């Protein structure tokens, strides 16, 4: 496994960005939509979420780390990855449960090379206890809508060939998948942003922000209630 290429930084995976294959651009009609039958609040993550991002990744099993990063990532590598996240350049999205645990997150990394300025790369991880609910697909849709609105024309997904779940998500979105031994590259061409895509993202972000605030207030309330009950019981 090699270090990240200079063209795209962020998802922390192995291999290099390949030149995209020739593929017909997707139309706005068949592009992934932010509207799904499963409403999952997905919010943008910023500097204040760095510690929770680290906690999420460190909680992944060795095999899950292998699938996410393309090699057996140790704690030190994850800590360095999290410390190097650039929230001003890239976009991070997350799903929180009612306990404010980050159970799924995605990293949308933009190209730092002028030659590939309309390209971005997607990486995702989901805690084992939160699997089977379509969170990976929802995060991919959320990132795709945002990438469109940011002017991205080509979205890359680099994954190990054995990461069938990630490759299935990419294929279902219409991506072209090319395998090269133990690794695979998926390329998804995105249509231009529309008023609908921009409004959809605004609504989705507002929903996620409101949901997060509600969960934070609920957690604070139950914590206070627990402390009061403990005090009434003499600290027992």
Quick: pLDDT tens for 23-51: 444 444 444 444 445 578 999 999 999 99
pLDDT value of residue 51? 95
Instruction: Quote the domain boundaries for residue 193.
Output: 43-228
Proportion of the chain in helix, strand, coil states, percent, rounded to 5? 40, 20, 40
The domain that holds 68 is classified in CATH as 3.40.630.30
Is 11 part of any domain? no
Give the pLDDT confidence score for residue 230 in this predicted structure: 67
| Residue 23 within any structural domain of the chain | no
**17 vs 220 pLDDT, higher one:** 220
The reply to whether 22 falls in a domain is no
> Is the four-CA dihedral 29, 27, 195, 112 of positive or negative sign?
positive
Report d(CA 23, CA 175) in Å as an integer.
Answer: 9
pLDDT value for 17? 34
The neighbouring-strand residues paired with 89 are none
- Higher-scoring residue by pLDDT: 115, 183: 183
Distance CA 177, CA 171 (A): 7
- The closest alpha carbon to 191, from 145, 232, 143, 122, belongs to 145
Domain assignment present for 6: no
Burial level of 91, CB count in 10 A (0-12/13-18/19+)? Answer: buried
pLDDT at position 192 is 92
Which helix or strand (DSSP H or E) is residue 188 part of?
A: strand 183-189
Q: Give the per-residue pLDDT at 107.
A: 97
- What pLDDT shows up at residue 44? 94
Whether the model pTM is above 0.85: no
In this prediction, residue 61 carries a pLDDT of 95
In-domain check, residue 27: no
Q: Which helix (H) or strand (E) holds 185?
A: strand 183-189
Give me the pLDDT at residue 36, please: 43
CA angle 134-138-143, nearest 5°? Answer: 150
Residues in the chain: 236
Whether 173 is covered by a domain: the verdict is: yes
Rounded mean pLDDT of 178-204?
89
pLDDT attached to residue 199: 86
In this prediction, residue 170 has a pLDDT band, given cuts at 50, 70 and 90, of very high
Going from the C-alpha of 35 to that of each of 38, 90, 110, the distances in angstroms are: 8, 23, 24
User: For residues 116 and 44, which has the higher predicted lDDT (pLDDT)?
Assistant: 44
The predicted structure's pLDDT at residue 203: 83
Residue 38 confidence (pLDDT): 59
Helices (H) and strands (E) in the chain, counts: 6, 7
Q: Give the position of tokens 């699938």.
A: 67
- Distance in Å from the first CA to the final CA of the chain: 53
CB 125 within 8 A of CB 57: yes
Give CA–CA dist 24/198, Å, rounded: 23
Mean pLDDT of 14-20: 34
Residue 179 lies in a domain: yes
Q: 170 with 186: CB under 8 angstroms?
A: yes
Q: How many domains does the chain have?
A: 1
Beta bridge partners, 93, equal 44, 106
pLDDT one-digit tens code per residue, 211-236: 777 777 776 656 666 666 766 676 55
Q: How confident is the model at residue 113 (pLDDT cuts 50, 70, 90)?
A: confident
Q: Is residue 29 part of a domain?
A: no
Longest dimension (CA), the chain: 71
């Amino acid at each position: 496994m090699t270090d990240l290429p200079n063209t795209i930084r962020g998802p922390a995976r192995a291999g290099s960005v390949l030149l995209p294959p020739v593929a017909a651009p997707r139309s706005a009609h068949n592009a992934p939509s932010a509207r799904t039958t499963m409403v999952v609040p997905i919010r943008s993550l910023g500097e204040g979420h760095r510690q929770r991002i680290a906690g999420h990744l460190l909680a992944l099993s060795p095999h899950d780390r292998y699938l996410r990063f393309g090699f057996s990532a140790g704690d030190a590598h994850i800590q360095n990855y999290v410390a190097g996240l650039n929230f001003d350049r890239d976009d991070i999205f997350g799903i929180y449960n009612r306990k404010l645990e980050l159970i799924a997150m995605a990293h949308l990394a933009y190209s730092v090379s002028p030659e590939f300025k309309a390209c971005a790369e997607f990486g995702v991880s989901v805690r084992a206890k939160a699997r089977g609910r379509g969170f990976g697909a929802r995060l991919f849709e959320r990132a795709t809508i945002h990438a469109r609105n940011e002017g991205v024309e080509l979205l890359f997904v680099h994954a190990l060939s054995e990461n069938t779940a990630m490759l299935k998500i990419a294929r279902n979105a219409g991506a072209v998948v090319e395998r090269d031994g133990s690794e695979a590259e998926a390329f998804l061409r995105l249509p231009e942003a529309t008023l609908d895509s921009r409004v959809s993202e605004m609504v989705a972000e507002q929903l996620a922000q409101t949901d997060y605030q509600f969960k934070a207030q609920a957690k604070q309330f139950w914590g206070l209630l627990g402390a009061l009950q403990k005090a009434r019981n003499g600290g027992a």
